Amino acid sequence: MEAKALVEITRPHNCILAGVVGLLGAIVAAGHFPDPTKALLVFLVVTLGCAAGNTINDYFDYEIDRINRPDRPLPRGAMSRRAAFWYSMVLFALGLAFASLISIYALIFAAVAYLMMFLYAWKLKPLPFVGNVVVAGLTAATPLYGAIAVGKIGLAGHLALCAFLVNVAREVIKDIEDVEGDLAKGAKTLPIVIGKKKSAYIGALFAFLTVIASFLPVKAGVGVSYIAMVPVDALILYSAYLILRSQDREAAHLSQKLLKISIFLAVVAFMIASLVR
Q: Give which of 263, 255, 225, 254 is closest to 237, Cα–Cα.
A: 255
What local confidence, expressed as pLDDT, does residue 102 receive? 97
What local confidence, expressed as pLDDT, does residue 275 receive? 72
Q: How many CB atoms lie within 10 A of CB 68?
A: 19
Average pLDDT, the chain: 90
What local confidence, expressed as pLDDT, does residue 268 receive? 81
What local confidence, expressed as pLDDT, does residue 122 receive? 93
pLDDT in tens, 74-124: 999 999 999 999 999 999 999 999 999 999 999 999 999 999 999 999 988
CATH of the domain at 254: 1.10.357.140
Report the alpha-carbon distance of residue 125 to residue 59 in Å, rounded: 13
pLDDT in tens, 230-256: 899 999 999 999 999 999 999 999 999
Where is average pLDDT lowest: 29-33, 52-56, 107-111? 29-33
Band of pLDDT at residue 220, cut at 50, 70 and 90 = low
Burial of residue 22 (CB within 10 Å: 0-12, 13-18, 19+) is: buried
Domain span holding position 244: 5-276
Contact of 148 with 113, CB cutoff 8 Å: no
What local confidence, expressed as pLDDT, does residue 175 receive? 92
Report the alpha-carbon distance of residue 20 to residue 143 in Å, rounded: 9
Alpha carbon of residue 116 to chain centroid: 13
What local confidence, expressed as pLDDT, does residue 14 receive? 87
Contact of 25 with 146, CB cutoff 8 Å: yes
The residue that leads in pLDDT, 61 or 154, is 61
Model confidence at 17: pLDDT above 90: no
Model confidence at 221: pLDDT above 60: no
Instruction: Count CA atoms within 13 Å of residue 177 on its CB side.
Output: 19
> What is the count of structural domains for the chain?
1
pTM for the whole structure: 0.85
Instruction: Count CA atoms within 13 Å of residue 15 on its CB side.
Output: 20
